Amino acid sequence: MTADSGHAGSVDEPTGHPTGGLPTPLAETLRYGPFHRALRESIAHRGLSLARLRAHLEQLGVQVGQSTLSYWQRGLRHPEVPRAISTVRALETVLRLPPSSLLDLIGPRTANTYAPRPVATWPDHAPLLATFDSVPEAARGNADLEVLSVHDTVQIGMHREQRSITTRLVVRAVRQGPDRYLATHHGDDGSLIENAMVRSGEGCRQGRLRRESASRNLAVEMLFDRRLAAGEEHVFSFTIVDDTGSATPGHHRTFRDTCGSYLVQLSFHRRAMPARCMKQFLASADATPVDVDELVCGLGGVVSAYFGDVGPGIAGIAVEWS
């Protein structure tokens, strides 16, 4: 949550409702949605900070928190009807948008609107992590490390199976002493987790590894070459090879705390291209996905999704096959 300590000035922009003059991409987003993208692009087009936008709304007699505006434009929350109708109409006024252009996007979904599928199951790694009995509780939960950035690269084979996941992390020691990161992995349906392999990359080496065949869960220690000093940053990477599962539904990562950035990329075999890929964020495992955007699979069969200031929650890419 961001506190606004600035002084709200007067609204110095006109407040009419022109029907033209909008850039074509923005006009199309206002027509087709989703709401959070339309709001974000409209704010960017007007060149307003959230603090300034909030000040303009207050001049119109509308009280709304800056954090609420931030959640709305990021898709983490959605305006509630009918309570938010007056606020959304005021946003149209301040942002110089056609009447009801934003309001129409917060109503019921139409048949043409993508209805995101929730993540079907989400693994409980707690029993597996508890088997690392000689590792302190803080280390089992990586509590002594702040995750600054994560980059997952997922290779998908010709049979639509997830073949490998290479993860590169940037972490910072919260206090003196952390010397490992405990990573977890959940195999797709049909995965023979006992056949999965872990390969260490730069900045770490493999420690103990635990598997649980019934749940298709895996946990592994990635050991650093030294104990980190308080505030010290460390970069390391590793790859999990798990290629025995059925057609993958995509890749998601759980963030227990906030993380500065998350980039996930899926690389598809040229003989197994997806019908659709969707960027998703879920506040919890049983929540409806938000921040949903359809992604373009670019040259070379790679699709990417970037999340800034992500978490807590679950972020990733959902895949649909033809």
107-138 per-position pLDDT tens digit = 644 333 444 444 444 555 666 666 666 555 54
Q: What is the pLDDT of residue 299?
A: 74
pLDDT score for 162: 96
**Please, what is the end-to-end C-alpha distance for the chain in angstroms?**
41
> Alpha helices of 115-163 — where are they, by DSSP H?
126-129, 137-140
Q: Where in the chain is the domain with CATH 1.10.260.40?
A: 24-106
Structural domain 24-106, CATH architecture: Orthogonal Bundle (1.10)
Q: CATH number for the 126-320 domain, one of 2.60.40, 3.30.70, 2.60.120, 2.40.160?
A: 2.60.40
Q: Tell me the pLDDT tens digit for each residue of 158-200.
A: 999 999 999 999 999 999 999 999 999 999 999 999 999 999 9
Note the pLDDT tens digit of each residue in 57-68: 999 999 988 888
pLDDT at 260 over 90: yes
Q: pLDDT tens digits for 279-306?
A: 999 888 777 777 678 888 877 899 999 9
Task: Decide: 167 and 237 in contact? Cβ < 8 Å.
Answer: yes
Query: Where in the chain do CATH 2.60.40 domains reside?
Result: 126-320
Residue pair 198/209 in contact by the 8 Å Cβ criterion? yes
Question: Are the C-beta atoms of 303 and 296 separated by less than 8 Å?
Answer: yes
What confidence tens digit (pLDDT) does each residue in 138-152 have?
455 588 999 999 999
- Which pLDDT tens digit goes with each residue over 1-39? 222 333 333 333 333 333 357 898 898 888 877 888 899
User: With 90 as the cut, is the pLDDT of residue 209 above it?
Assistant: yes
The pLDDT confidence band at residue 72, using thresholds 50, 70 and 90, is confident
pLDDT of residue 110: 38
Q: What is the pLDDT of residue 136?
A: 57
pLDDT above 70 coverage of the chain, percent: 82
pLDDT of 43 reads 94
Helix (H) / strand (E) element for 73: namely: helix 66-74
Tell me what percent of the residues of the chain surpass a pLDDT of 90: 57
Quick check: 298 and 277 in contact, CB under 8 A? no
What confidence tens digit (pLDDT) does each residue in 220-257 have? Answer: 999 999 999 999 999 999 999 999 999 999 999 999 88
Residue partners of 90: CB distance under 8 A and separation at least 6: 57, 60, 62
Report the alpha-carbon distance of residue 94 to residue 14 in Å, rounded: 8
